[in-house]
Amino acid sequence: YGMSDPAPDPQTITAYADAIADGLAALDLGAIDLVGYHTGAAIAAELAKRLASRVRRIMLIAVPVFTPEERARFGALPPIPWDEAGDWAREEWQRSWTWRGPGQTREDVLRTYAEKMRPGARERGASAIAAYDMAGALAQIDQPLMIVRPRDDLWEATARARALRPDAGYAELPDLGHGLWSVAPERMAALLRGFFA
């Protein structure tokens, strides 16, 4: 939801990673650490595969390891149809409240809801993640890896990531969900510092 120019359709996790890799090359940062959250976890995993010699460590938070059935179902979901009466907005608003994380403020739910209202943002990202083989990507990550499992809509999917990579560092956050960055910023910062330091 960064308001940048959109990637061409169909959008893919590999195309998102291409764009970030181009940006990193232009910045010439040397060795980097990666943090990926939700769809960003897939993008970070793809970058770690491609930039193996430059990525030092990687932390994946809420990891979308879907079963084949979930991927098929998720990928087949039609976008919420736009209508002049605004029913599409109500449906997304209700979805935002359904997945409201513990302690997440109304203001934070409203902010993320507004981000999802940008035309095409939600459904394109959802299609990209449904088509991505996250389990296969996890198997190819050679860098030190940490998996973080908040209680959100990827709670079970992240458990699968943990099962696939028992060698990874692991933190379970059953008291946090969507909005964890605004609800517990100091705790999340400490978690990141502890792993990347």
Full 3-state SS string of 177-194: CCCHHHHCHHHHHHHHHH
What is the reported pLDDT for 79?
63
Q: Which residues of the chain have pLDDT under 70?
A: 1-3, 6, 75-81, 119-123
Written as one string, the DSSP assignment of 101-132 is PTT--HHHHHHHHHHHTSTTHHHHHHHHHHHS
Tokens read off for 178: 């969507």
What is the reported pLDDT for 2?
55
What is the reported pLDDT for 92?
82
Find out whether 114 and 139 touch, Cβ atoms under 8 Å: no
What is the reported pLDDT for 118?
72
What is the reported pLDDT for 126?
77
Tokens read off for 176: 């946090």
Strands ordered across the beta sheet of 145-150: 32-37, 55-61, 145-150, 169-173
What is the reported pLDDT for 90?
87
